[in-house]
């Protein structure tokens, strides 16, 4: 006999129903015909189409523009969304990283791509950072932290809910320790290089783990004199130093620039120097003085947070890549990146080719890359393929 379970019900438009059934994981509030009758923070609700036909179960947000985040296509009589359900999803996400078990720095949960909407978890040695960018996960983050500590053996779980995405969700920003005591400083490796992170004090979740594979690959292809722009903690710079005769790392944030120096010293990279400066200004100065390099990396922060900012972002990317190409010697390598999810891969490649044309440099596109295996892309969700990395040889 089928179970009878009553949940608040969200009725969505025909357009919204079609999107969810095609595999899209969320709906904006504009696609709601009838909001569910609940005041619970991050409530689980049933989702139905205009005729009342079931679609599945979802987290419902009281205030976010993203009102519906689908959890399962099964109804409450078939599958109960509770702690056991979420624990199983966490276990599956960890199991998917089995091929990367040799790494001590990686993403363990990648939000919608791992069918855990709005939850992102990174591992640095024995420490974890947790971000919740949905009301449903925000309401459960204390439980998630305890469960992750049990499943992974982590000594610390840090909440890094201080990203701008929280503003969009109408959620408060905060940083706090959810599990463990004392400082949250840990070490992890990128290839042969050892890095230190402060999970309570550094930017983002501590480091940019989505770039680890690209750091290593750049180190394999680099040569001569290297320039790493927007270096942060020196991920690209230290990788380049394995092949380059010298590397200049440019980082505007003084604290991050000091961390590059410490990481370089820790790894014996005596030929890495650090310029605490603005990358745009540095490139202009090099253009004026004729300074040239054999390998240049351009890895700026996200320049387009919203769709309306894409045109402005592409102009900034164009200026950076134009100047970087002018700083390259013949046969030089350009590694250029965009982590702006609103900028498509096609638009970014078109920008790179336009910058090359304006620089009057023929180029070869050697590799088109993205984030690593621990940052999977969910089919049908373009936003999950946010990182674009092009390896380009300037002839």
Same domain for 236 and 283, yes or no, is yes
Question: pLDDT tens across 239-283, in order?
Answer: 999 999 999 999 999 999 999 999 999 999 999 999 999 999 999
pLDDT, position 49: 96
Confidence of residue 342 (pLDDT cuts 50, 70, 90): confident
Catalytic, 327? Answer: no
Inform me whether the pLDDT recorded for 393 exceeds 70: yes
Output the six-digit token pair for 203: 């930017």
Same domain for 61 and 98, yes or no, is no
Confidence of residue 1 (pLDDT cuts 50, 70, 90): very low
Compute the distance between CA of residue 393 and CA of residue 352 in angstroms, rounded to an integer. Answer: 12
Compute the distance between CA of residue 51 and CA of residue 176 in angstroms, rounded to an integer. Answer: 45
Rounded mean pLDDT of the chain?
94
Evaluate whether 195 touches 187 at the Cβ level (below 8 Å).
Answer: yes
Same domain for 219 and 286, yes or no, is yes
The answer to whether residue 78 is domain-embedded is: no
Question: pLDDT tens across 178-233, in order?
Answer: 999 999 999 999 999 999 999 999 887 889 999 999 999 999 999 999 999 999 99
Return the CATH number at 59: 2.30.130.10
Compute the distance between CA of residue 54 and CA of residue 43 in angstroms, rounded to an integer. Answer: 17
Confidence of residue 4 (pLDDT cuts 50, 70, 90): low
Kindly report the number of other CB atoms within 10 A of residue 172's CB atom. 10
Candidate list 159, 244, 327, 339, residue with the active-site label? 339
Boundary of a domain, candidates 187, 216, 248: 187
Compute the distance between CA of residue 16 and CA of residue 18 in angstroms, rounded to an integer. Answer: 5
Domain of residue 109 covers 83-187
Confidence of residue 306 (pLDDT cuts 50, 70, 90): low
Same domain for 283 and 366, yes or no, is yes
Evaluate whether 66 touches 169 at the Cβ level (below 8 Å).
Answer: yes
pLDDT above 90: percentage of residues in the chain: 88
Same domain for 226 and 271, yes or no, is yes
Evaluate whether 394 touches 334 at the Cβ level (below 8 Å).
Answer: yes
Mean pLDDT of 117-136: 97
* Angle, CA 107 vertex, CA 242 and CA 173 arms, to 5°: 115
The answer to whether residue 193 is domain-embedded is: no
Kindly report the number of other CB atoms within 10 A of residue 51's CB atom. 8
Return the CATH number at 371: 3.40.50.150
Compute the distance between CA of residue 285 and CA of residue 147 in angstroms, rounded to an integer. Answer: 51
Contacts 24+ apart (CB under 8 A), 208-211: 208/232, 208/235, 209/105, 209/106, 209/107, 209/122, 209/372, 209/374, 209/375, 210/107, 210/339, 210/371, 210/372, 210/375, 210/387, 211/235, 211/236, 211/299, 211/337, 211/371, 211/387, 211/389
The answer to whether residue 31 is domain-embedded is: yes
Boundary of a domain, candidates 187, 216, 243: 187
Inform me whether the pLDDT recorded for 126 exceeds 80: yes
């Amino acid at each position: 006999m089928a179970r009878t379970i009553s949940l608040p019900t969200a009725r969505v438009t025909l357009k919204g129903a079609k999107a969810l059934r095609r595999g899209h994981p969320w709906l904006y509030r504009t696609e709601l015909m009838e909001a569910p009758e609940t005041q619970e923070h991050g409530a689980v609700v049933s989702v139905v189409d205009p005729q009342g036909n079931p679609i599945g179960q979802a987290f419902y947000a009281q205030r976010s523009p993203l009102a519906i985040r689908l959890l399962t296509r099964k109804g409450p009589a078939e599958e109960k969304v509770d702690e056991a359900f979420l624990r199983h999803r966490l276990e599956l996400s960890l199991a998917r990283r089995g091929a990367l078990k040799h790494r001590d720095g990686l993403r363990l949960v990648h939000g919608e791509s791992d069918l855990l909407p709005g939850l992102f978890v990174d591992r640095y040695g024995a420490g974890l950072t947790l971000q919740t960018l949905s009301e449903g996960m925000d309401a459960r983050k204390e439980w998630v932290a305890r469960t992750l500590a049990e499943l992974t053996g982590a000594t610390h779980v840090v909440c890094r809910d201080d990203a701008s995405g929280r503003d969009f969700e109408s959620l408060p920003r905060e940083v706090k320790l959810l599990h463990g005591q004392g400082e949250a400083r840990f070490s992890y490796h990128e290839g042969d290089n050892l890095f230190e992170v402060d999970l309570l004090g550094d930017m983002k979740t501590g480091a940019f783990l989505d770039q680890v594979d690209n750091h290593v690959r750049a180190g394999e292809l680099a040569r001569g004199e290297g320039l790493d722009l927007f270096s942060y903690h020196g991920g690209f710079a230290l990788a380049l130093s394995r092949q380059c005769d010298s590397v200049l790392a440019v980082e505007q944030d003084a604290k991050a620039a000091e961390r590059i120096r410490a990481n370089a010293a820790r790894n014996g990279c005596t030929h890495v120097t650090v310029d605490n400066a603005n990358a745009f200004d540095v490139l202009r100065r090099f253009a004026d003085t004729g300074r040239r390099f054999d390998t240049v990396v351009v890895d700026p922060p996200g320049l387009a947070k919203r769709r309306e900012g894409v045109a402005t972002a592409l102009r900034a990317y164009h200026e950076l890549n134009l100047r970087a190409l002018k700083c390259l010697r013949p046969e030089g390598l350009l590694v250029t990146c965009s982590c702006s999810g609103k900028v498509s891969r096609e638009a970014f490649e078109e920008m790179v080719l336009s910058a090359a044309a304006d620089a009057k440099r023929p180029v070869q596109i050697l590799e088109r890359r993205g984030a690593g295996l621990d940052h999977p892309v969910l089919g049908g969700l373009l936003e999950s393929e946010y990182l674009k990395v092009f390896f380009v040889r300037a002839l």
